[in-house]
Structure 1
Amino acid sequence: MTREEVFDRLNEIFRDVFDDDDITVVDETTADDIEDWDSLEHINLINAIEEEFGMKFDMGQIVSMKNVGEMVDIILENE
């Protein structure tokens, strides 16, 4: 899977979780960039991503991710 394909799938997940069709995530996107991205929505987002990509983030990965780009790196590593 390419980085672009991961972003395409992530954009759909983010739009669904945050109920906002205008969201487009990029490498630098953080929780500060999306209005409703709080701790509860973060859990929903992680669960949706794990389900979509058939993987599990470990706790270290979850707490160390600083932006969506790092999330994509982890997804590609687990492919």
Structure 2
Amino acid sequence: PDHIHLLVDCKPQFFISDMIKIMKGNLARQMFLVHPELKQKLWDGHLWNPSYCAVTVSDRSREQVLAYIEGQKEKEKRKN
């Protein structure tokens, strides 16, 4: 896949941009430790594009968002 969906619950005092940077950095570090060959195959050795999309979700729509994310997982499985 060329993107991932996450549903994250965080306190309002955290900057979304900082959280995204930390998540992307930690995941990239782990991926490169397990698969060092990836660094040569990627754009300038970077796992992630710097862009992201973030939206807020109300308690009422949370279940709908979770269902959408689960549906995307199934869609990706069928594609492969």
TM-score using structure 1 length: 0.32
Task: Write 1 or 2 for the structure with the bigger share of helix.
Answer: 1
